Amino acid sequence: MGLDGTVRCRCFEEGRLRPGPVPLEDVYVDEEGYLASRTLDEARERLTRRQFDARYADLERAFDDWLHSCCEHEDAELCAEHVASWSGCAEFRELVDRAGGDKNHPLLSALLPDGTGGTYPAEKAAATLAELDRFAEWVAANAPQVVHEGRYGTAERLRRLLEASRASGNPIRWC
């Protein structure tokens, strides 16, 4: 339980997906940042669940299977992190508040979602990383109880997600 984050690789954008059960022209990135099939999504809109299952259940299963191994990255992910438990997320927010809140860290203050779902835009990754560096220094000096072997784990995991987002140009997907 808690917050996870993933960043999709660029194999779709770079045309490096393996052939799958639908033509590659049918594959697109949906508004939540996931690879999806136009055929399946349009059918889902148009049909009742029962009609959809009767006609498309096999294709849906094959498409979902393909997504796990459609490129060299497992699940087409460049980075996948269990960010923190919900109490760990609350602790992160509290530390950001103590470090000056949104006045000092406007991006970090709004980084974590309220629940699961939604995305964090890649355009903000570089500036958020700069705030995270400053914040990590503050934590090391002011909150040693959350630092283990020189690292505050939640911040390190967020850093890996943000770095993958900056490198790929794809958003962090919260889940």
Q: How many residues does the chain have?
A: 175
Q: CA dist 90 to 2, 64, 85, 122, Å? A: 10, 33, 9, 23
State how far the Cα of 168 lies from the Cα of 119, in Å rounded to an integer: 14
11 lies in the site for Zn ion, by CB under 5 A? yes
Name the minimum Å distance from CB 26 to Zn ion: 18
71 lies in the site for Zn ion, by CB under 5 A? yes
Beta bridge partners of 160: none
Q: Please, which residue, 71 or 125, has the CB nearer to Zn ion? A: 71
Among 5, 6, 7, 9, binds Zn ion (CB under 5 A): 9
- CA 110: distance to chain centroid? 15
Name the minimum Å distance from CB 70 to Zn ion: 8
Which region, judged by CB under 5 A, interacts with Zn ion, from 21-29, 66-74, 92-100, 134-142? Answer: 66-74
State how far the Cα of 86 lies from the Cα of 116, in Å rounded to an integer: 10
Q: List interacting residues with Zn ion (CB under 5 A).
A: 9, 11, 71, 73, 76
